[in-house]
């Protein structure tokens, strides 16, 4: 089982949107609607910043990261039921990995604040591959670390980029509706299944919480 991190395992959406808004207003002197600020969640930050303003992407990224790290402890939250799902999967003998576009230091910070309830057997961050979601390389790298193959894996994420990455890697996908992506956009991405709650996801995966 491979999981996305932001918006899937931990509730960082409010933190991310607030960090984007701070960066955009500080660097560009203007605001953007929430749907624009949320639209790139799941892709590397620098790519999101290039969408906001390609000429100021590096400055936007630096401003984002400074504010984000300073406010992570205040705004990071759990999704009810996710920890219980992970514990149930681990107890069933499932190898669990995390594949995220987040930078390693930001992941380490999040895990210090909200320690995972189980040991992740693979952790792939932005620095670990040269190409990123929606391409397949991060997922395939995680499977290599786990000694597994696409036919034996499922990738769970909250954005269309997660579904697209799973499809490119030949991995089954489950989209979750509690994160950044709205249900219409998730359905349009055509995942193998959509789960509205962690309990729904557990039922899809055949484990008891």
DSSP strand pairing (172-176 vs 154-157): parallel
pLDDT digit string, tens, across residues 150-169 = 999 999 999 999 999 999 99
Give the integer Cα–Cα distance in Å for 16 and 38. Answer: 8
Query: Do residues 63 and 83 share a domain?
Result: no
% of the chain surpassing 90 pLDDT: 93
CATH at residue 158: 3.40.50.1000
Query: Do residues 114 and 101 share a domain?
Result: yes
At residue 182, the pLDDT reads 86
CATH at residue 54: 1.10.150
Q: Which of 145, 141, 122 is nearest to 131 (CA)?
A: 141
DSSP result, 132-174: -TTSSHHHHHHHHHHT--GGG-EEEESSHHHHHHHHHHT-EEE
Tokens coding 103: 């930078």
At residue 189, the pLDDT reads 95
Strands (E), the chain: 2-3, 10-11, 77-78, 97-99, 122-124, 154-157, 172-176, 193-195
Give the integer Cα–Cα distance in Å for 50 and 24. Answer: 11
Query: Do residues 105 and 185 share a domain?
Result: yes
Give the integer Cα–Cα distance in Å for 163 and 196. Answer: 15
At residue 181, the pLDDT reads 85
Q: With a cut of 50, which residues of the chain have pLDDT below it? A: none
Query: Do residues 65 and 99 share a domain?
Result: no
Of the residues 47, 75, 103, the one at which a domain ends: 75
At residue 209, the pLDDT reads 86
The domain of 55 spans 13-75
Residue with token string 């607030």: 18
Determine the length of the chain. Answer: 209
Query: Do residues 70 and 121 share a domain?
Result: no
Of the residues 75, 92, 119, the one at which a domain ends: 75
Query: Do residues 46 and 82 share a domain?
Result: no
Overall number of domains in the chain: 2
Query: Do residues 112 and 195 share a domain?
Result: yes
Of these residues, 4, 11, 83, 90, which one is catalytic? 4
Query: Do residues 56 and 126 share a domain?
Result: no
pLDDT digit string, tens, across residues 100-123 = 999 999 999 999 999 999 999 999
Report whether the peptide linkage leading into residue 134 is cis, meaning its omega lies within 30 degrees of zero.
yes
Q: Name the CA dihedral angle for 152, 206, 203, 209, rounded to a multiple of 10 degrees.
A: -120
Query: At residue 178, what are phi and psi to the nearest 5 degrees?
Result: -100, 5
196 is catalytic: no
What are the residues facing 101 on neighbouring strands?
none
Give the integer Cα–Cα distance in Å for 205 and 150. Answer: 16
Give the contacts of 56 (CB within 8 A, at least 6 positions apart). Answer: 27, 28, 49
pTM, to two decimals: 0.94
Query: Do residues 66 and 82 share a domain?
Result: no
Of the residues 25, 46, 75, the one at which a domain ends: 75
At residue 191, the pLDDT reads 98
Query: Do residues 115 and 152 share a domain?
Result: yes
């Amino acid at each position: 089982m491979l999981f996305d991190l932001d918006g899937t395992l931990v509730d960082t959406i409010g933190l991310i949107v607030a960090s984007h808004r701070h960066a955009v207003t500080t660097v560009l002197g203007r605001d953007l609607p929430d749907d624009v600020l949320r639209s790139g969640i799941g892709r590397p930050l620098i790519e999101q910043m290039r969408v906001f303003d390609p000429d100021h992407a590096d400055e936007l990224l630096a401003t984002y990261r400074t504010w984000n790290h300073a406010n992570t402890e205040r705004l990071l939250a759990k999704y009810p039921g996710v920890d219980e799902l992970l514990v149930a999967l681990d107890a069933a003998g499932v190898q669990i990995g995390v594949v995220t576009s987040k930078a390693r230091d930001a992941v380490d910070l999040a895990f210090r604040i909200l320690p995972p309830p189980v040991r992740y057997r693979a952790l792939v961050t932005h620095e670990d591959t040269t190409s990123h979601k929606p391409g397949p390389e991060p997922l395939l790298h995680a499977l290599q670390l786990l000694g597994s193959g696409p036919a034996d894996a499922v990738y769970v994420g909250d954005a269309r980029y997660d579904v697209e990455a799973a499809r490119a890697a030949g991995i089954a996908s489950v989209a979750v509706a509690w994160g950044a992506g709205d249900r219409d956009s998730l359905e349009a991405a055509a995942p193998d299944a959509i789960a509205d709650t962690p309990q729904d996801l557990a039922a899809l995966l055949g484990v008891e919480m």
